[in-house]
A and B are shown apart, each in its own frame.
Chain A
Amino acid sequence: MLKKYLSIALLLSMGLLASCGGGEAEQQEGEGNSQTNGTTENTVNVEEALQKLSNDFTLLRAIPSPIQMTSLVQESGAKYDPAILHDANKAKNYGSDFKRALNVGVYSTDLGFAHLYGKNQDAIDYLVAIRDLSTGLKVDSYFDFERLKQLTESNASIDELLAETLTSLQTMKDGLEKENRGDITVLVVTGGWVEALYLGCHVAENAKNKQQLLEHIADQKVSLDNIVKLLEDIQAINPEAKALYEKAKQLQDAYANVSLKVETISKDTVIDGVPTVVQEDQSVELNFTEQDFQKIYSIVKEMRRLIVE
């Protein structure tokens, strides 16, 4: 009798496992053009690439949030110009997961930017665009769009809205990593990073007080190295990433002569009750010519065009 129940339990477990496997298959199907065909060789390559990507995820986590660049743009005194941001209405035009993921990143940066300037209607439009793309990507469960909309409409503090958006994005990234869809996360982060760099360059081109912006643009060299490695990984998962990877490599070349060297001395103190390390700069040496800047800006524009077109 006991044997009979153990058999039933075993069958039930196998059934559960099979249904989990089915979900995974559906998920891979949902990724659409993430995988080109079903040959064993390609499946192995994609699995290997996903494994490599998973190992390289520390690179992704280190990439700074676009909000740092957008807040610098605002501090430079630049006026809000919706024409430089991406058109929220174009969200419905993206038919592949590759483009959807990249543009979730772009719109997230634009959302933060619009809200920084108190442009709530624009921010809501970007929220709707992100919601639509997230639904297409099957990641909408990570967002509480109703709460985000309420926060935007109620003129909630910038911190509250951004914290909610950024927390949701991070939950999504963590969730996708667990779902073995790390390629989507890389694309979201890349889209957001390119948009922030584009906004920074656009404003820096004509800003009177652009020293800090230029330093921050120069700083992006560190993150770019990570982006290039990650895009290299996902080429094997998604061939659509090739063109973007090649542009990122060109951008790396354009950054080759750019450097920001800061000599610092660290001092320990306590500020506002919190132990604080102050890195006092002794000397700052920024190597960033106008020619370098124009070259970088031109490639960033091309990268953005590849993403949003």
Chain B
Amino acid sequence: MKRWCLFLSFAFFYLLGSVSSARAQCDTEPFVQEALNFLKEKNFNFLKSYKIDGQRGTNKEIEYSYVFSTGTTYMIFVNNGKKNAEGVIVTVEDAERNEIAKSFVGDTYVPAVQIICNRTGIYYLRFTLVDKRHDCAAAVLGFKR
């Protein structure tokens, strides 16, 4: 009997561990799908998607870079399941680290920013996670000419 109790306790804690780790995972797939629909509505072609996982407050900022090309319009759309992607801010900086766009205007969140690029170079996309309760998000980058 004692053996069975120990075995069941072991199995229970093992299962509990699996469930809690699965829940803690950040699944961005549904966010990406919604973001793709947004790009499509705006007549943008999909280029890249980014996973933004704050890991419950562990990561406050996540940065990616991309080469933007002259004569191309780029759109970055952020989706964390909240209206206007509240809690996530994307800041776009040029190669000299000058801020050129931000998805937080005044005191309002906006889900997307676009850049009509006329200067080729590396651009930095920095995602700042303000609200750790909603720090699992996806962003997509689209382009049109």
Which chain A residues in 43-100 approach chain B with CB under 8 Å?
58, 61-65, 67-68, 71-72, 75
B114 and A271 contacting across the interface, CB-CB below 8 Å: yes
A292: Cβ under 8 A from any B Cβ = no
Which chain B residues in 66-93 approach chain A with CB under 8 Å?
66-72, 75, 92
Q: Per-residue 0/1 for B1-44: is the Cβ within 8 Å of any A Cβ (1 yes, 0 no)?
A: 01100110010000000000000000000001000100110100
Which chain A residues in 182-215 approach chain B with CB under 8 Å?
212, 215
**Most chain A C-beta atoms within 10 Å of own C-beta, residue among B64, B113, B114, B121:** B114
| Complex CA distance for A279 and B71, rounded to whole angstroms | 10
| Complex CA distance for A262 and B36, rounded to whole angstroms | 31
A1: Cβ under 8 A from any B Cβ = yes
The A interface is mostly helix, strand or loop, or mixed, namely: helix
In the complex, chain A residues whose CB is within 8 Å of the CB of B48: 61, 65, 166, 170
A274 and B47 contacting across the interface, CB-CB below 8 Å: no
In the complex, chain B residues whose CB is within 8 Å of the CB of A64: 47, 66-69
Query: Which of B36, B72, B116, B122 makes the CB contact (< 8 A) with A62?
Result: B122
In the complex, chain A residues whose CB is within 8 Å of the CB of B59: none
Known A-B contacts A67-B45, A71-B145, A167-B49; the reply to A62 vs B67 at CB < 8 A is yes
**Most chain B C-beta atoms within 10 Å of own C-beta, residue among A1, A62, A266, A274:** A274
Residue of B nearest to A265 (CB): B118
A266 and B100 contacting across the interface, CB-CB below 8 Å: yes
A163 and B110 contacting across the interface, CB-CB below 8 Å: no
Residue of B nearest to A6 (CB): B10
The minimal Cβ–Cβ distance linking A14 to chain B, given in whole angstroms, is 16
Q: Per-residue 0/1 for B97-122: is the Cβ within 8 Å of any A Cβ (1 yes, 0 no)?
A: 00011010100001011111111111
B100 and A277 contacting across the interface, CB-CB below 8 Å: yes
How many A-B contacts if CB must be within 8 Å?
A: 119
Query: Which of B70, B72, B75 makes the CB contact (< 8 A) with A260?
Result: B70
| Complex CA distance for A65 and B47, rounded to whole angstroms | 6
Query: Which of B45, B49, B112, B117 makes the CB contact (< 8 A) with A279?
Result: B117
**Most chain B C-beta atoms within 10 Å of own C-beta, residue among A61, A65, A162, A271:** A65
A275: Cβ under 8 A from any B Cβ = yes
A276 and B120 contacting across the interface, CB-CB below 8 Å: no
Query: Which of A2, A157, A260, A274 makes the CB contact (< 8 A) with B112?
Result: A274
| Complex CA distance for A276 and B101, rounded to whole angstroms | 8
| Complex CA distance for A64 and B68, rounded to whole angstroms | 7
B6 and A275 contacting across the interface, CB-CB below 8 Å: no
Residue of A nearest to B92 (CB): A277
Residue of B nearest to A8 (CB): B10
In the complex, chain A residues whose CB is within 8 Å of the CB of B51: 174
Residue of B nearest to A64 (CB): B67
The minimal Cβ–Cβ distance linking B139 to chain A, given in whole angstroms, is 13
Known A-B contacts A61-B64, A264-B119, A280-B118; the reply to A162 vs B71 at CB < 8 A is no
The minimal Cβ–Cβ distance linking A166 to chain B, given in whole angstroms, is 6
A61 and B70 contacting across the interface, CB-CB below 8 Å: no
B143: Cβ under 8 A from any A Cβ = yes
B42 and A1 contacting across the interface, CB-CB below 8 Å: no
- 24 chain-A/chain-B pairs, Cβ below 8 angstroms: A1-B6, A5-B7, A9-B10, A61-B64, A61-B65, A61-B66, A62-B67, A64-B69, A157-B40, A159-B46, A163-B36, A163-B46, A170-B49, A219-B67, A222-B120, A266-B100, A272-B42, A274-B113, A275-B103, A275-B110, A275-B113, A277-B92, A277-B114, A281-B70
Across the A-B interface, the 6 shortest Cβ-Cβ residue pairs: A279-B118, A163-B46, A281-B118, A62-B65, A219-B120, A278-B116
Chain A positions near chain B (C-beta within 8 angstroms): 1-2, 5, 9, 58, 61-65, 67-68, 71-72, 75, 157-159, 162-163, 166-167, 170, 174, 212, 215-216, 219, 222-223, 260, 262, 264, 266, 271-272, 274-281
Given contacts A64-B68, A159-B40, A275-B103, 5 further A-B contacts (CB under 8 A): A65-B48, A67-B45, A266-B100, A276-B101, A277-B100
